[in-house]
Amino acid sequence: MTQELIGKRVPVLDKGWIELIDLMPHPAAGVSGDLAIVSAARVSFMGESKGEEKDKKLLFYLMRHEHNSPFEMVEFKFRLRAPLITYWQWVRHRTFHYQSANAQSGRYTEFDENDFYVPAAWRQQHTSNKQASGANLPDAESQELTEKLIAFYDEGYRLYEEALEKGVAKEMARLFLPGFSVYYTWVVKVDALNLMNFLRLRMASDAQYEIRVYAEAIYREFFKPALPWTAEAFEEFAMNAGE
């Protein structure tokens, strides 16, 4: 039941999560997202159907031939918590309705002491791809780097608190915080078409791990349960487009 998806929160990374806070069409309307797409393609009223076989066949036709606009009739609204290194990659997707996003501001709210990303492993630089990472470092070296990273976080946060205690404005005190690793919370809205574009790019094997795990969680926990026909067609015709 798609009703159960509203309010569902899934943990991601060490301290992150993603939550579905709204869906259009809303489950209370009694119209599935797949049917909303089909209905839009027929330019008919919501809920009108020609039977499951014909409806699903039409949806697959739309996906296969890239008749895209009907897929914009379904929208997802997420609340998510992710480190800045993920955030900056996310906002590059300008069609992810970023104009409909609102992010936490360190100018108004203080950061908690544990709001920093600690990776489970440290990846080596890829030998041939300047933008990618390769195999993990040995455990002993990873553990040493993790301990140094945590010590760095602790000192930065101590200085942040010290600045706040001296009356420094929050917008300036945050300069002491390790920028790329601090967790932010924001709300984003996206239609199914542009979400599929995001998923296709960010679930790819060469996508950075810290954003790939969010894309995988969205697809597995929200997109596929909400739009099973669309997900099936996406996997068959669109997920690996361009490879």
Spell out the domain ranges in the chain.
2-103+182-238, 123-180
User: Whose CA is closest to 227, among 13, 9, 24, 11?
Assistant: 24
Enter the tokens of residue 125: 């630089």
The third-level CATH classification (topology) of the domain covering 2-103+182-238 is Gyrase A; domain 2 (3.30.1360)
Whole-number pLDDT of residue 242: 56
- Counted residue by residue, the chain has a size of 243
Q: Is 202 a catalytic residue?
A: yes
User: Whose CA is closest to 164, among 118, 214, 203, 112?
Assistant: 112
DSSP per residue, 33-76 = HHHHHHHHHTT--TT--S-HHHHHHHHHHHHHTT--GGGGG-EE
Q: Are 46 and 29 in contact (CB under 8 A)?
A: yes
> Which stretches does DSSP call E strand in the chain?
9-12, 16-24, 75-83, 102-103, 123-125, 133-136, 183-191
Give the strand order in the sheet containing 183-191. Answer: 9-12, 16-24, 75-83, 183-191, 102-103
Per-residue pLDDT of the chain (243 residues; tens, 9 = 90+): 688 999 999 999 999 999 999 999 999 998 999 999 999 998 855 557 889 999 999 999 999 999 999 999 999 999 999 998 898 888 877 666 544 666 655 555 666 656 899 999 998 987 777 666 778 899 999 999 999 999 999 999 999 999 999 999 988 898 898 888 989 888 999 999 999 999 999 999 889 999 999 999 999 999 999 999 999 999 999 887 755
Using CA atoms, how far apart are residues 115 and 61, in angstroms rounded to an integer? 45
Count of other CB atoms within 10 angstroms of residue 234: 22
Enter the tokens of residue 82: 């992710």
Whole-number pLDDT of residue 89: 87
Q: Are 99 and 200 in contact (CB under 8 A)?
A: no
Using CA atoms, how far apart are residues 133 and 205, in angstroms rounded to an integer? 11
Q: Which listed residue (81, 174, 202, 212) is catalytic?
A: 202
Using CA atoms, how far apart are residues 70 and 60, in angstroms rounded to an integer? 12
User: Whose CA is closest to 117, among 88, 81, 63, 141?
Assistant: 81
Phi, psi of 97 (to 5 degrees): 50, 40
Phi, psi of 19 (to 5 degrees): -135, 135
Taking each helix axis as running N to C, give the angle between helix 52-64 and helix 33-41, from 0 to 180 degrees, rounded to the nearest 10.
70
Whole-number pLDDT of residue 92: 78
117, amino acid identity: Y
